Amino acid sequence: MKYVSLANNQQTTSFKEVVIQGLAPDKSLYYPAYIPQWKSSFIEQIPKLSDLEIALEAMGPFVDEDLSLSELELILTDVLCFDFPLQKVGDFYSLELFHGPTLAFKDVGAGFMARCLGRFIQNEQNKKATVLVATSGDTGGAVANGFLGVEGIDVVILYPSGKVSPIQEKQLTTLGQNITALEVQGTFDDCQDMVKKAFVDTDINSKVKLTSANSINVARWIPQMLYYIFAYKTLKNNGIQDLPVFAVPSGNFGNICAGILAHKMGLPVSHFIACNNANDTVVDFMNTGVYRPKDTVATISNAMDVGNPSNFVRILELFNKQKKELELNFTALSYSDAETKVAMREIYDEFNYVADPHGAVAYLGLQAYIAKNPTSAGVFLETAHPSKFIDVVESTLDIKVSLPENVRYLMNRKKHSILTSNYEDLKSFLLQ
């Protein structure tokens, strides 16, 4: 598999190089040169295959020139070390993606990328790289955990001050070693803009080998397709014959984009619902046909607080930039904090299920879509453990949420971050 820039598909690049580079030299995103197609025999066999067998088949075409089958198997065995269960919630299913080391769906993509980059850097002449990443909450913790102690790689994480949850901040700022957190006086979009600017800054790039671990990096983005295949497998094994409808909490749109990629490769899916909070740039696009980035609005579902989602351009590419084709497969809806809290209470009172704010937004989107398009295979994604948003969950539901052991120990560790006001602060830090 080769990769192309979405702004210039004439020049192809290897998987190894796009992982190391992150962004294309022209500042656009990398994209597969073609979309692999699964044989019908593979799709028919999915219910009988192990998660590892599925992952090897799905991921193989994207890495085949740079990773041997045995290398890919070792990486995937390490990464897929926890469960991805479907829980019945009323007439719907919750796809729980928070059973990994940082309690968030980004553990798979971050772990996969960390292991790939670690291998690739060791074969480079200059065996040193800096992973530069912006986070609205969960990405930073997953990246920090995935790259912690990886030889030859420093990690610099930019996060918006006061706009991540206490647990998320602890996961960013307490690990030490090769992980540095820059606390930015601004929004996630400010953090992301600074990261993008650094990638095209010739002063920095002449001295520092930069790569990104946001879902703009293909090694972070593509592995997320596995969630949707695993969910399809479980539905089939539960005797559900309807094609799944997936409702996805969407911020930077990498997760839902990966699901659509799996669908374009052959996974039978009925529909995708991008469920947004007050940051509704894509909702407006679907209504008007005009894409207008917005200033970020702070909400209780902070991992979705993105006013200019990077991966939406990949979604458009998957549908040949045709809005009418997109509308047949994709719906975007948005909900307020007040509506989110009502949904959290409804889910708890009626089904005794504790949803985090992001999962509750997805539940609302699924509920609205299924009301008009009935199915027995409605799936909403729970992308983070409720304890990561403990203040909101406990105050909304009037319950106590226990902290899982793998984050409890962090709460007593001292925070270490570097206050950052502007791009020049970031540039100075990287050049040091």
Residue 81 has pLDDT above 90, yes or no: yes
Q: Give the pLDDT of residue 346.
A: 98
Least confident of 210-224, 248-262, 304-318: 210-224
Task: Say whether pLDDT at 217 is over 80.
Answer: yes
Whole-angstrom distance, CA of residue 209 vs CA of residue 199: 9
Per the structure block, which two tokens stand in for 71?
């290398």
128 is catalytic: no
19-73 pLDDT, tens digit each: 988 888 888 999 999 999 999 999 999 999 999 999 999 999 999 999 999 999 9
Does the pLDDT of residue 221 top 80, yes or no?
Answer: yes
For the packed helices 166-173 and 138-147, what is the interaxial angle rounded to 10 degrees?
Answer: 30
Q: Which of 16, 106, 170, 341 is catalytic?
A: 106
pTM of the model: 0.90
Per-residue pLDDT tens digits for 119-153: 888 766 667 889 998 887 777 888 888 888 888 88
pLDDT for 85-113, tens place per residue? 999 999 999 999 999 988 999 999 989 99
CA–CA gap between residue 289 and residue 276 (Å, rounded) = 17
Q: What is the pLDDT of residues 261-315, one digit of tens each?
A: 999 999 999 999 999 999 999 999 999 999 999 998 989 998 899 999 999 999 9
Split at pLDDT 50, 70, 90, the class of 212 is confident
Taking only the tens place, the pLDDT of each residue in 335-365 is 999 999 999 999 999 999 999 999 999 999 9
State the Cα–Cα distance between residues 219 and 316, nearest whole angstrom. 19
**Tokens coding 43:** 């799709």
Q: What is the mean pLDDT of residues 393-408?
A: 90
Contact indicator for 421, 414 with CB cutoff of 8 Å: no
pLDDT at residue 168 in the model? 87
Domains of the chain: 83-104+220-404 (3.40.50.1100)
Per-residue model confidence (pLDDT) at position 315: 98
Residue 125: its pLDDT value, please? Answer: 60
Instruction: Determine which helix (DSSP H) or strand (DSSP E) holds 93, and give its type and residue range.
Output: strand 92-96
- Model pLDDT, residue 380: 98
**pLDDT computed for residue 126 by the predictor:** 63
Q: pLDDT digits over 147-172, tens only? A: 888 888 899 999 999 888 888 898 88
Q: How much is the average pLDDT of 196-205? A: 88
Q: Which of 221, 213, 227 is nearest to 139 (CA)?
A: 213
Average pLDDT value for residue range 174-187: 91
